[in-house]
Structure 1
Amino acid sequence: MPHIKRAARILLFCALGLLLLRAALPVALQSYVNRTLDRAEDYDGRVGNVDLSLLAGSYSIENIEIVKSNGLVQQPLFSTQQLRFSLLWSALLGGTIVGEVDLTQPVLNFVDSTAEEERQSGAGEPWLNIANDLFPLRIDHLQIRDGRVVFLNSNASPPIDVSLQDINLIALNIANSRDLAKELTTLVSATANTTGSGNLAFDVSLTPNTQLPTFDINLEASDIGLTDFENLLNYYAPFDLEAGELDLALEMASDAGELTGYMRPVLHNIDVFSWKGDVEEDGDGLFRNLAELFTGAITEIFENQASNQFATEVEFSGTLDEPDIDTFAAIAAILRNAFVDALEARIDNSINLEAD
């Protein structure tokens, strides 16, 4: 009997120890995540509740925010309603330790400003090292649900606030370190909507273990209303677009930094110059009005009248640092669109790494 009582006490102490450990782990994990996020020089991290499931091999973190530490930028660089990390048991049973990450409503805020301290891009910070410490396993599956990427500039008048929204993304075989993936290709597929009514879809494959960038991108965008980006274009572009929609097809591949690809922009119902908008309301200067009027006239001359569109195809090659653009081919494409066949903003799958 004594040995039975002793065994019962040991089991009781073990059970209490496990309960205490289970209660302490979320707090310890929350502290660890906060310290890891704070390793960025100009940014601080904040996280909410942490929920840990030992049996499922998963944890979730609510209300993550990464904010600029000087307090001069109101919007966080990154925020997400919930981040969930879990082990992939099917792979674990096969002898491979990999994980899955699920992000709910993540938001990236990029901010431009006339003052350097009020800008926000996240550039120059060790984000890959931080991600490697938070998720030290190979990520087999990453999913983003209802994400947004926002660009803001409050110095513009009126202020600029444009975004990619409703981002739904799936990425497979992500490795933070070359030690975790020797010959794997990361695959990314995503859809999104632009400010207004535009739609965007892209597929990317990239090889993480090459010294120079190696990737293949296919992108299509449609029905992007240019007036939805009026403030952005007025502030950063040398002309006003009073009306029009943009369709775009892009194929681009880089084999260890050697670039090849094309971009096919198609502008519908384009209107660069509006007398009421430019002269009466905007009060643009004489030379700017003349430049916009000339641009509008050129666009009208080389527009495909049947389709009411102005389009070209820009081919490029060379390297990522110094791309070469085929100007003559772009001019020929303008003429072909205007007087032969209207171009379509559709990828033709002619650019890929295997073909280079």
Structure 2
Amino acid sequence: MKHARHDHANDDETSNVHTLPVKKAEPAAEKPAEPDLPHKERRKHIWRNAGIGAVIFLAIALIGARIYLPFWVTDYVNKTLNNIPGYTGSISGVGISLYRGAYTIHDLKLLKKDKGIPVPFIDIKKTDLSLQWGALFDGAVVGDVTLYQPTINFATSKSGATTQTGVETDWTDPIKELMPLDINFVEIHGGKVTYKNFNSSPNIDIFISGMEAKVTNLRNAEDKNVALPSNLVVTGKSIGGGNLRIDGNLNILKKIPDMAIKGKLEAVQLPALNDYSQAFLSIDFNKGKFDLYTDINVKNGQVSGFVKPLLREIDLIDWQNLDPNPLNVLWESVVSIVLEIFSNQSKDQVATQIQLEGSLDSPETNFWSTLNGILRNAFVKAYSNTVKEE
């Protein structure tokens, strides 16, 4: 019995022992998977990257074009100038200004293919061609041209067989090709026009320099109801200190342009023209002044107007420096007497007036060539008549 009690006691002790539960190890938590980007977000991301790539590509392309374009344009301009019959041309380089929509041509020269004429027909230090932004507000896409120190040399060769006038071929068309837009505005700074005769004795070199000119609204982008919409203003200084002023209005959109132009050249010191007078009239001026007034009108192909030269305070014979040729002295004496007889004694001046008349409406006739011929003949006749006939 004792033994049994002992066993029961052991059983009670055993039953009073609490066994701690064994905690099972939990598996390591996995990182939540990143949710997939929505379709629109992915597309936006692709387009953003594509846009950045396009900008970079465009920037590289523009830089490359900016570097290469001047060389390409220079080559193109030189080829264009060399396609003018009877002339050869060149430029030294081109500058591109993309933000202005403009480019600049440096040292444009156009030369006659004749070794007897040693000066270029056209020599322009700088030509700036650009988009006329102001005209865009009027709905017109036109261009501006500004010429810096342009020179035009009319000339006669040493042999006398060739002249350089620009009228024997239409050299203006290739020049216009250099401007991709219709030209609406032209401005000139420091221009010069000369006439050189390498055949005469003595050689002749007369000029008008320091020319400032402005021609506006050539393409009639404004004032569309005006008959002569383009305005012209020219000023300059001639050989012998004369003052030049030209004012006019034009309409170059017609097949034969209409125009109304008035010009005056005043206070030219006549001794400065002695090379011309000696070569063509065999006289020298000791002193005197020369004025020239002109009025030119062209309407529907018909030219009208006048050229009026005026000689003042004339003295032909310099008794201190007589010409060794007695015939020249005799001729100058006769001319001096005739001038004295026919001069306006109250004003001490001699004048004549040459009427301008001609037609430009022939389809075979070059407008500028014909007009130039009419004016040249009138000016030479007017100058000669004033000295010899009056």
Q: Give TM-score, length-normalised by structure 2.
A: 0.72
Contact 1:185 1:208 in 2 (8 A): no
Tell me: CA distance 1:263–1:296, structure 2 relative to 1, closer, same or farther (3 Å).
Answer: same
Aligned-residue offset at 1:96: 0.8
Contact 2:215 2:231 in 1 (8 A): yes
CA distance in 2, matches of 1:122, 1:215: 21
Aligned-residue offset at 1:213: 5.2
Higher relative contact order (CA 8 A, sep 6+): 1
Aligned-residue offset at 1:211: 4.2
CA distance in 2, matches of 1:71, 1:290: 39
The alignment status of 1:319 with 2:358, answered yes or no, reads yes
Contact 1:211 1:256 in 2 (8 A): no
After superposition, give the CA deviation of every residue in 1:3-49 in whole Å (9 maximum; x if it has no partner). Answer: 35454333322221221122221111111111111111221111122
The alignment status of 1:304 with 2:344, answered yes or no, reads yes
Letter in 2 for 1:81: K
CA distance in 1, matches of 2:154, 2:303: 27
State the partner residue of 1:171.
Answer: 215
RMSD: 3.1
Letter in 2 for 1:302: F
Letter in 2 for 1:161: D
SS at the partner of 1:156? coil
Tell me: CA distance 1:308–1:101, structure 2 relative to 1, closer, same or farther (3 Å).
Answer: same
- 5 Å-filtered alignment, 1:131-146, equals 131-146=175-190
After superposition, give the CA deviation of every residue in 1:198-219 in whole Å (9 maximum; x if it has no partner). Answer: 1110112222244445321201
Count of residue pairs brought into register by the alignment = 317
The alignment status of 1:32 with 2:76, answered yes or no, reads yes
SS at the partner of 1:31? helix
Letter in 2 for 1:262: F
Letter in 2 for 1:89: W
State the partner residue of 1:243.
Answer: 287
- 5 Å-filtered alignment, 1:1-356, equals 3=46, 4-115=48-159, 119-174=163-218, 185-212=229-256, 214-274=258-318, 277=321, 280-285=322-327, 289-312=329-352, 314=353, 316=355, 318-320=357-359
CA distance in 2, matches of 1:60, 1:175: 22
Aligned-residue offset at 1:63: 1.3
Letter in 1 for 2:130: S
Judge which range, 109-118 or 97-106, deviates more. 109-118
SS at the partner of 2:339? helix
Tell me: CA distance 1:62–1:96, structure 2 relative to 1, closer, same or farther (3 Å).
Answer: same
CA distance in 2, matches of 1:224, 1:135: 38
Tell me: CA distance 1:211–1:11, structure 2 relative to 1, closer, same or farther (3 Å).
Answer: closer
CA distance in 1, matches of 2:253, 2:212: 26
After superposition, give the CA deviation of every residue in 1:312-344 in whole Å (9 maximum; x if it has no partner). Answer: 4x2626425898xxxxxx9xxx9xxx9xxxxxx
Letter in 2 for 1:316: Q
CA distance in 2, matches of 1:233, 1:316: 22
Letter in 2 for 1:61: I
State the partner residue of 2:36.
Answer: none
CA distance in 2, matches of 1:108, 1:33: 19
CA distance in 1, matches of 2:303, 2:138: 38
After superposition, give the CA deviation of every residue in 1:61-94 in whole Å (9 maximum; x if it has no partner). Answer: 1111112344543221111111001111121243
CA distance in 2, matches of 1:5, 1:187: 54
CA distance in 2, matches of 1:233, 1:319: 27
Contact 1:72 1:117 in 2 (8 A): no
Tell me: CA distance 1:97–1:20, structure 2 relative to 1, closer, same or farther (3 Å).
Answer: same
Aligned-residue offset at 1:183: 6.5
CA distance in 1, matches of 2:359, 2:315: 33
State the partner residue of 1:345.
Answer: none
Contact 1:219 1:250 in 2 (8 A): yes
CA distance in 2, matches of 1:169, 1:33: 25
Contact 2:274 2:283 in 1 (8 A): no
Tell me: CA distance 1:257–1:295, structure 2 relative to 1, closer, same or farther (3 Å).
Answer: farther
Tell me: CA distance 1:320–1:243, structure 2 relative to 1, closer, same or farther (3 Å).
Answer: farther
Letter in 2 for 1:106: P
After superposition, give the CA deviation of every residue in 1:285-304 in whole Å (9 maximum; x if it has no partner). Answer: 2xx55443332212112333
Tell me: CA distance 1:218–1:184, structure 2 relative to 1, closer, same or farther (3 Å).
Answer: closer
Structure 1 residue runs of 5 or longer lacking an equivalent are: 324-329, 339-356
Contact 2:258 2:299 in 1 (8 A): yes
Between structure 1 and structure 2, the one with the greater Rg is 2
